[in-house]
Amino acid sequence: MVSNINELHFKYLEENFKEYFKYFSYIFLSYEMGLRKPDPKIYKLIMEYLKLPAQNITYTDDRPELIEAAKRLNIDAFVFKGVDSLIEELLKRDIKLDLVLSRRK
């Protein structure tokens, strides 16, 4: 997860919705990194940290300009339009969703 969030808002979310954070192996926060999306440096630093090339990353966001910034770095990216659309896009990419799909039942 990568978020343009401030510390106060993140602490609130972490305290009140902690069950959602277990789905993320890594959380990259703009206030900690000193960068904000769509600055290409934030995406590059994350790729560097994870030791992943752009072609091994799938990124989604609800803001088209952030998707375009990621695509300019050859990251596979699509606009988030809701949970059903997200699942469809991830399945198209053969990304395993066993946990997510079992929780929706």
Q: How much is the CA Rg of the chain, to the nearest whole Å?
A: 14
Query: Could you tell me which residues come within 8 angstroms of residue 29 by beta carbon, excluding any fewer than 6 positions away?
Result: 2, 3, 5, 7, 10
Q: Which residues have a Cβ under 8 Å from the Cβ of 97 and sit 6 or more positions away?
A: 87, 90, 91
User: Which residues neighbour 91 within 8 Å (Cβ) at sequence distance 6 or greater?
Assistant: 97
Hey, is 17 helix, strand or coil?
Answer: coil
- pLDDT for res 102: 52
Q: What is the pLDDT of residue 8?
A: 97
Give backbone dihedrals phi and psi of 25, rounded to 5 degrees, phi first.
-75, -30
**pLDDT of res. 4:** 97
pTM: 0.84
Q: What is the pLDDT along the chain (105 residues), one digit of tens a residue?
A: 999 999 999 999 999 999 988 888 899 999 999 999 999 999 999 999 999 999 999 999 999 999 999 999 999 999 999 999 999 999 999 888 775 555 544
Domains detected in the chain: 2-103 (3.40.50.1000)
Distance CA 86, CA 95 (A): 11
According to DSSP, residue 75 is labeled: -
